[in-house]
Structure 1
Amino acid sequence: MRVLIVDDEKLARDRLRELLNDIGGYTVVGEAMNGTEAVEKSSELNPDVLLMDIRMPGMDGLEAAMHLMGMENPPAVIFTTAYDQHALDAFDVNAVDYLLKPIRKDRLAKALSKAHKLTAKQIAEISQARPEPASRTHISVHLRGNIRLVPVPDILYFLADSKYVVVRTAAEEHLIEDSLVNLEKEFGDRFLRIHRNALVSTGSIKGIEKNPAGTWQISLKNYDKKLDVSRRHTAQVRRWARNRPMAG
């Protein structure tokens, strides 16, 4: 069984590697220090199972697991955690394998022997119960069986297009299967609804102006195309503009 160890602390990674050597029958194919590395290395190395810490800087283990669900053949995940009992109850209810730190050899061996693949529903329910609920740091894009992670701060806007949503950065665009309603719920503090089919990053807005036709448009930093503001959302957008000075 091929194992990827994911933890931001080197001592913890070394400890897991030693325990795996003692148990025998497992090959450590790599290590990662955060969730972003875990997703990238999983796509590259195709491990059978991840031993993954939950609390890590940047992308945490729960978000990484959610992105991994998009792989053609996702690995099993065993979480390692120092969470308190309230959070651990969520793992028990959802029948997800986890190891409480400090990790014991017999407990690790037992978890590995029954490691199973997670479902998106399990991860979503545990994410809601964790002590520090948070929105995703990245959006995952599926390209020919691989996962491409797009940092949320790089996204200029989300645009609904048929059954897909266009994710636009200054350099490129991708299609994801999601809904603007869900994205607005998750990122509503960072994105502004300007149209029934568009959410714009507030940090990317350069200005708002009227075009010759008398309707309002938004201009963005580092992007030439202007986006139309619908009549229905004009008042909300202008109110936002009045309350927040915009950079040039």
Structure 2
Amino acid sequence: MEQWMNALIVDDEPYNREELKYLLSSYREIKSVKEAESGEEAVMKAMRDQPDVIFLDVEMPKMNGMEVAESIRKLKKPPLIVFATAYPQFAAEAFRYEAVDYLLKPYDEAQLDETMQRLVNKHVKDVSVKPDRAPGKLSVEVDGDIHYLELKDILYMERVEKKTRLITKQGEFSTNAALKVLEARLLSHGFFRIHKSFLVNLKYIQKLTPWFNGAYHLQLEGTDEKLSVSRNYVKSLREQLEL
């Protein structure tokens, strides 16, 4: 479950492709990475391989990135698009093609973290929402018994070593399930990743307080604990919460 996005990097410069491929290799969400060195090759591979996401350069000879984006949007199963370019002036035009994000070269790892979080949010929503299925319950094992927890009663989850703590209205439970797996299952039920170690129930968020170096502390209803919100998740969290 942790690796489920196939990526295609499109750039006419080999060094740029190698650099981005290396950076993407550190993300568990990325299952595979293929490359294309031209717009024409990108369209062909998008049709043949059906990648989940395309990292697309703008300035390329013959067929540029905008033309590639226009072509692949017509596919039956179009991939998510992230423009990756050294030219900031194309950003406004890029979002006409419903781009998930716009990465600037040279790549900044903090910006790439934020881009990946946007991709995870978008991709999980696209593939995991099943309207004909009623929300289920989360099962945890306690002393050999299986307890079924109502999702509405879970305040937050925290990954501690090889266990995930579940803080609920009824008390604390634990599970072996990785936080990334739980995130994929629960994103469409109002849960949101705020830190590499925390997944929270959005309905219980009460207050965000600036903390240090762009990070925040988060206060939830029903608990006095202050949870850390990584600066890479702050913008996406506020987009989820605010009208």
Q: TM-score range by the shorter chain?
A: 0.3 to 0.5
TM-score, normalised to structure 1, is 0.43
TM-score, normalization by structure 2: 0.44
